Amino acid sequence: MDNASIVNVENATVEFTKGTIGTITTYYFDTSKGGHPMVNAMAGLAVLENDDQLIMINHCAPTGLFPKIENEFDYAHQELPNGLTQIVFTKKHEAQGTTDFSATSCGGGCD
């Protein structure tokens, strides 16, 4: 990530970095070793503008998160060579802004 710097993201419990990948403003955080994945994902998603992306590293795909955000955000996840999972979130252009970012309890588990 180019021009990366640590940024303050309200309600986050882990460090967030903001930079660019190509021309895309990118926020990044890692909850693979702790730090409340749902809390941090919702905190990060709340700051995204239309053409930004959020990259999350976690020990698994947070399947409990996906139904809570699918009306407003697209996401893709892949397993990394080190066994962790990377999830990339982007905001849908036609999104109505209906996500409840305070819904941080997880009813699901991992894929």
List pLDDT tens digits, range 45-94: 999 999 999 999 999 999 899 999 999 999 999 999 999 999 999 999 88
Cβ(41)–Cβ(32) below 8 Å? no
Residue 24 in tokens: 């895309």
Return the domain boundaries, the chain: 2-91
CATH of domain 2-91: 3.30.110
Distance CA(93)–CA(74), nearest Å, equals 10
Task: For the chain, give the percent of residues with pLDDT over 70.
Answer: 95
Work out the burial of residue 102: count CB atoms within 10 Å of its CB; fewer than 13 is exposed, 13-18 middle, 19 or more buried: exposed
